[in-house]
Chains A and B, each alone.
Chain A
Amino acid sequence: MAVVAYIAVLDDEEPVRKALGRLLRASGLEVECYAGAREFLDGSAHRRPDCVVLDLHMPGMSGLQVLAELRRKVPPVPAVVITAHDAPETREQCLAAGAVAYLRKPLDGSVLLDAISASLRTPRTTENHP
């Protein structure tokens, strides 16, 4: 029996978080949703996610700070960054900080699933271009 990948969704927007959770579950993934960075870091201490879908702009601790935390873990936890505020410099920053993909909201389900699959296979960097 294949092991089901465990994905953490981290987004301060409740409707977005809920919808992404549903989408990933509908695709057969196991999902846990978090509203904030602190809540996620506490939760992930108990169970390490295989991949994190990470919103970049959140009140309090930002996505970039979470990304740095994920990179410090051994081995690093892959993260797909999602954002509603697209700027070329933040994409560069995120990819440099170790994000495996940088996706702009509203994101197509298949693109997100592809990015997660890719991160689960090999921790390499992908980009989606506008």
Chain B
Amino acid sequence: MLSTGVAGAALTLALVHGILWLLDRRNLASLAFCVLAVSVAAMAFTELGMMHAASPAQYGQWVRWFHLPNYFAIAGLVAFIHLQFGTGRPWLAAAIIALRSLLVITNFLVAPNVNWREIVALERIPFLGEEISVIGKAVARPTAWLGMAASLLLVAYVVDASLRLWQRGDREARRKVLIIGGGVLAFLVLAIAQSQLVVWQVLRMPVLVTPPFLILMLAMTYQLCRDIVESARRSREAQLQRRQLAHLSRVSVLGQLSGGIVHELRQPLTAILSNAQAAQHFLANKNADPQLLGEILQDIVAADQRAVEIIRRLQTLFRRGESSFEALDVNGLARDVLRIVNSDLVVRGVQVAMDLEEPLAPIEGDRVELQQVLLNLVMNACEAMAELPEGERRLVIRTRAGEAGQLQISVEDNGPGFPAEQYERLFEPFYTTKQQGLGLGLSICRTIVRSHRGRLWGSSTADRGAVFHVLLPT
């Protein structure tokens, strides 16, 4: 009953951690745990076999098979501690595995197993309400000490890794040492003591390594769950920080554009004022044609609506909040961005060519974030062309349907470009080629594009300029 219960619990834990690993393949600690738990279930099964062995030969076979899952359980445990602590000495881990391998190989080369030279007789004893078999009389094999040595090496490995982690001094590390390190040591002491006392026939009871193993696995599961909760919390915090950083970067780009935005707003204001003053003149001179006055009022309304639209676009870009994905027309997005930067481009003397493929399939994305990416690329392109004479500064915005299910937006300039090896560095945080600027713009843009399951990269154009591509899934 006890062994069946242990096996059931171990398999349940193995399933949970196996799924955790399948969901996140980088979570190797869960994989190590899964291997350990499956092995413990198999060990419990062999323990059950020993208890119900009808003859010394059968008992010997079960002991022999016990060593195979035990080998994987120890390997899983060492791997788990290595991954969780990061402080274990690799040579010590390798020595444990080597010794255990030697033990298993020897185990299958000798009969009946590595622990016994001969099992002479079994003894039936009552245990937890049923009658079970234990060793009655047997001759021990000297190689049984290999197991003892491997277990002592494991103790040394865990103590050493725990001490080194403890010395790091932070609370989380010390909690880990207490839970896992403490759990492993308590288990090892219990398991070694119990199995050796049984082997030396001091204790008249079955070999029961797996029940303490189960307690250890619960401690490990607690630590893994803590790690998962902690990692989810950190991920939420990181996401919030990324959003705040993206917002700051957006505001900074809009700051660079402020001159252009003022220019853009002054145009409808000029139209409104001049139209209204013209109407005043017509009325004062008593030569107001009602139709002309109607046209003037209509133009005033149109100019006012244009000013409202400029303000609305800006408000949207200044917005700080959650990402909201919607179906977007990439060509419309490119045109919107161009409207925002239009005045700035005129002032900078940059000629723009739009080369948009029509129609394009819509993409799922956050309008503001993708506008921010394009704004950044356009502004970078403008700055890259600042040294060229006016009239030679040419910017091309191109959209193309890419391979199945993808589309590409490219922003190309005819500035001096960058050496080929520099393009990837441009995306590193705080790397900048500008006199002013933090060097975060492109790094944030890449994060945004990646959050859209896309790719952002730069390369040289045929005539030495730079072109940046955004590849997005439709």
Residues of A within 8 A of B (CB): 12-13, 15-16, 18-20, 22-23, 25-27, 57-60, 62, 82, 84-85, 87, 104-109
Segment touching A, from B150-158, B295-303, B313-321, B448-456: B295-303
Inter-chain contact A105/B281, CB cutoff 8 Å: no
In chain B between 288 and 311, which residues have their CB closer than 8 angstroms to a CB of chain A?
Answer: 292, 296, 299, 302-303, 306
Q: Which 3 pairs, one residue from A and one from B, show the smallest C-beta to C-beta distance?
A: A26-B281, A19-B274, A109-B277
Contacts A62-B390, A84-B262, A85-B347; is A15 near B273 (CB within 8 Å)? no
Within 8 A of A (CB), among B167-208: none
A27 to B282 alpha-carbon distance, docked (Å): 8
Option from A19, A22, A57, A60 in Cβ contact (under 8 Å) with B270: A19
Cβ-based interface call for B278 (8 A):
yes
Residue pair B302, A15 in contact (C-beta under 8 Å): yes
Contacts of A108 in B (CB 8 A): 273, 277
| Contact for B277 among A13, A18, A23, CB less than 8 A | A23
* Total number of B residues with any Cβ neighbor in A under 8 Å: 33
Cβ-defined contact, A85 with B303, below 8 A: no
Cβ A22 vs Cβ B296 within 8 A: yes
For A106, what are the chain B residues with a Cβ–Cβ distance below 8 Å?
266, 269-270, 272-274
Residues of A within 8 A of B285 (CB): 26
CB distance from A2 to the nearest CB of B (A): 16
A20 and B269 CA atoms in complex are apart in Å by 12
Bound CA–CA A22/B277 (angstroms): 9
Residues in B with CB closer than 8 Å to A87 are 259
Distance (whole angstroms) from the CB of A81 to the closest CB of chain B: 14
Shortest beta-carbon distance from A33 to chain B in Å = 12
Nearest-neighbour CB distance to chain A for B285, whole angstroms, equals 7
Assess whether B275 is interfacial by the CB under 8 Å rule.
yes
Given contacts A16-B271, A23-B275, A108-B273, 8 further A-B contacts (CB under 8 A): A18-B299, A22-B274, A57-B263, A57-B346, A59-B346, A84-B264, A106-B272, A109-B273
Asked whether A16 lies within 8 Å of B274 as measured between CB atoms, the reply is: yes
Cα A58 to Cα B343 with chains together (Å): 9
Assuming the A-B contacts A62-B390, A84-B266, are A18 and B271 also in contact, with contact meaning beta carbons closer than 8 angstroms in the complex?
yes
Q: What would be 9 A-B contacts, judged by CB atoms less than 8 Å apart? A: A12-B346, A15-B299, A18-B271, A23-B277, A57-B347, A84-B270, A105-B270, A108-B277, A109-B273
Q: Which residues of B have CB within 8 Å of A19? A: 270-275, 278, 299, 303
Task: Tell me, rounded to whole Å, the shortest Cβ–Cβ distance linking B258 to chain A.
Answer: 11
Q: Which residues of B contact A105 (CB under 8 A)?
A: 266-267, 269-270
Chain B interface (Cβ < 8 Å from any Cβ of A): 259-260, 262-264, 266-275, 277-279, 281-282, 285, 292, 296, 299, 302-303, 306, 343, 346-347, 349, 351, 390
CA distance A108 to B281 in the complex (A): 13
Q: Give chain A nearest CB distance to B251 CB in angstroms.
A: 21
Q: Which residues of A contact B260 (CB under 8 A)?
A: 85
Question: Once bound together, how far apart are the Cα atoms of A58 and B346, in whole Å?
Answer: 6
Nearest CB of B to A78, in Å: 20
Give, as a whole number of angstroms, the nearest-CB distance from B393 to chain A: 12
CA distance in complex: A27, B277 (Å): 10
SS of A interface (majority): loop
- Residue picked from A19, A23, A108, most chain B C-beta under 10 Å: A19
Cα separation A16 to B303 with both chains bound (whole Å): 9
Contact indicator A23/B281 (Cβ below 8 Å): yes
Residues of A within 8 A of B347 (CB): 57, 85
Cα A59 to Cα B338 with chains together (Å):
14
A56 to B275, CA, bound (A): 21
B266 and chain A: residue at smallest CB distance: A84
> What's the Cα separation between A18 and B299 when bound, in Å?
9
Nearest CB in chain B: distance from A64 CB, A: 9
Residues of A contacting B275 in the complex (Cβ-Cβ under 8 angstroms): 19, 22-23
Q: How far is A58 from B342 in the complex, measured between Cα atoms in Å?
A: 11
How far, in whole Å, are A55 and B346 apart by their CA atoms in the complex?
12
Please, which residues of chain A bring their CB within 8 A of the CB of B264? 84
What distance in Å separates the Cβ of A54 from its nearest Cβ neighbour in chain B?
Answer: 14
Residues from chain A with Cβ under 8 Å of B267 in the complex? 13, 15-16, 84, 105
Find B271's partner among A15, A58, A104 (CB 8 Å cutoff): A15
User: Within 8 Å CB of A59, what residues of B?
Assistant: 346, 351
Kindly state the separation between the CA atoms of A67 and B390 in the bound complex, as whole angstroms: 16
B-side contacts of A20, CB under 8 Å: 270, 274
| Whole-angstrom CA separation of A59 from B393 in the bound complex | 12
Complex interface: chain B residues within 8 A of A82 (CB): 270
Residues on the B chain within 8 Å of A85, using CB: 259-260, 262-263, 343, 347
Q: Which residue of A lies closest to B287 (CB)?
A: A26
Minimal beta-carbon separation of B356 from chain A (angstroms): 19
**Which residue of chain B lies nearest to A17 when distances are taken between CB atoms in the complex?**
B271
Do B346 and A15 touch (CB < 8 A)? no
A120 to B469, CA, bound (A): 54
With A and B bound together, what is the CA distance between A66 and B66 in angstroms? 95
CA distance A124 to B101 in the complex (A): 101
A84 near B274: Cβ-Cβ < 8 Å: no
- Chain A CB count within 10 A is highest, among B264, B266, B292, B351, for B266
In the bound complex, residues from chain A placing their C-beta under 8 Å from that of B343 are: 57, 84-85
**Distance of B104 from chain A, by nearest CB (Å):** 80
